[in-house]
């Protein structure tokens, strides 16, 4: 029996460590993706918030399992920026966002306009616009409003709708797409 220094190290542990290093070294991540491709399935999300000035570029899922610490970071990133309240975001919404982003074939991150909305924020927005739902899925952490400079509302909405995993709203006048993990439906122009 030889001691190779890897006793107790699992494949999942190595992949997690490698993914963490790859994300930390973001400029070289494109090279890391090629190495991870053969090691198993990963899911990545890239966003920035013009409201808070924050950005996130992270792997949140490896080989069939969500990474709890990363989901916690996403909950904070997608918080209600008006009240600074966080809520547990439904990972299915993040999956839809990530899949649509992959289909769009761009390096540009999403601009997050709205993730979680507290009931008070939703009520305030509803008082200003008829386009805000009384029981918005944003209040349940199941929706996000997103924009991209390099892709049109139509292109983003088509990619999200292709997932057939939730609701997709086109808000061409305001230049954003709503994605949620609720019932499969589309609206807007």
pLDDT one-digit tens code per residue, 65-108: 999 999 999 999 999 999 999 999 999 999 999 999 999 999 99
Q: What pLDDT score was predicted for residue 133? A: 86
Rounded Cα gap, residues 18 and 129, in angstroms: 46
Q: What CATH architecture does domain 74-188 belong to?
A: 2-Layer Sandwich (3.30)
Q: Which two tokens stand for residue 121?
A: 């924020």
Phi, psi at residue 5, to the nearest 5°?
A: 85, 5
- Sheet containing 185-188: give its strands across: 65-66, 55-62, 42-48, 110-114, 143-147, 176-180, 167-171, 185-188
| Contact predicate 116/87, CB 8 Å | yes
Q: What pLDDT score was predicted for residue 40? A: 61
């Amino acid at each position: 029996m030889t001691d190779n220094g890897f006793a107790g190290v699992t494949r999942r542990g190595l992949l997690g460590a490698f993914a963490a290093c790859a994300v930390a070294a973001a400029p070289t991540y494109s090279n890391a993706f090629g190495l991870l491709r053969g090691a198993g399935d990963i899911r990545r999300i890239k966003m920035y918030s013009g409201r808070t000035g924050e950005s996130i570029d992270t792997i949140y899922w490896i080989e069939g399992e969500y990474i709890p610490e990363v989901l916690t970071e996403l909950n904070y990133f997608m918080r209600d920026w008006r009240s600074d309240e966080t809520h547990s975001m439904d990972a299915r919404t993040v999956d839809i966002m990530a899949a649509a982003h992959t289909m769009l074939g761009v390096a540009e991150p999403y601009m997050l306009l709205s993730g979680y909305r507290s009931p008070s924020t939703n009520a305030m927005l509803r008082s200003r616009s008829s386009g805000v739902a009384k029981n918005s899925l944003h209040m349940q952490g199941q929706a996000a409003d997103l924009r991209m400079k390099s892709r049109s509302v139509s292109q983003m909405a088509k990619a999200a709708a292709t997932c057939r995993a939730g609701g997709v709203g086109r808000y061409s006048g305001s230049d954003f797409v709503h994605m949620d993990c609720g019932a499969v439906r589309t609206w807007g122009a």
